[in-house]
Structure 1
Amino acid sequence: MIKATEVLQWRRSGRCSTGTCVEVARVGDRLLVRDSKDLDIAPLRFTEEQWESFLTGVKAGTFSS
């Protein structure tokens, strides 16, 4: 759970050139993912294992069209 006083350190990809990108923050053992152009939508939450699996898929081209 995120504490009201907790300041999240959101990170963007270095390839983000428009400023409207996906951002990631760590909270304990969870990773939060949000769309920087619509901050009113709650971020998605992932475990470390889920996030690592996603990154492996991205690097392998699993999500390329």
Structure 2
Amino acid sequence: MDTIANWRTSSYSNGQGGMCVEVGAGADLVGVRDTKDRDGGTLTFQPQAWGSFLAAIKTERFG
């Protein structure tokens, strides 16, 4: 399994870890986890899928 490292906390964090996520990158995976519960599980995505998701939200192409 790919090791995910370099976790970054959302810039929308209130500094107390409330209502925030972190994103980390590995060689073949991108991970997303809850800042308050880092051991509670990680959603993983292929880098291309993650890039498509980011592009969609940046251009507001939902729905």
TM-score of the aligned structures, taking structure 2 as reference length: 0.73
The secondary structure found in structure 2 opposite 1:10 is strand
Higher relative contact order (CA 8 A, sep 6+): 2
CA RMSD, Structure 1 to Structure 2 (Å): 2.1
Are 1:10 and 2:7 counterparts? yes
Matched to 2:55, the amino acid is T
Counterpart of 1:38?
A: 37
After superposition, give the CA deviation of every residue in 1:22-47 in whole Å (9 maximum; x if it has no partner). 10111112101101112232101101
Question: Aligned residues, how many?
Answer: 60
Whole-angstrom CA distance in 1 between matches of 2:11 and 2:37: 20
Matched to 1:23, the amino acid is E
Whole-angstrom CA distance in 1 between matches of 2:13 and 2:60: 19
Please report how far the alpha carbon of residue 16 of structure 1 lies from its aligned counterpart in structure 2 after TM superposition: 2.3
Percent identity of paired positions between Structure 1 and Structure 2: 40
User: Which stretches in structure 1 are left out of the alignment for 5+ residues?
Assistant: none
The secondary structure found in structure 1 opposite 2:57 is helix
User: Which stretches in structure 2 are left out of the alignment for 5+ residues?
Assistant: none
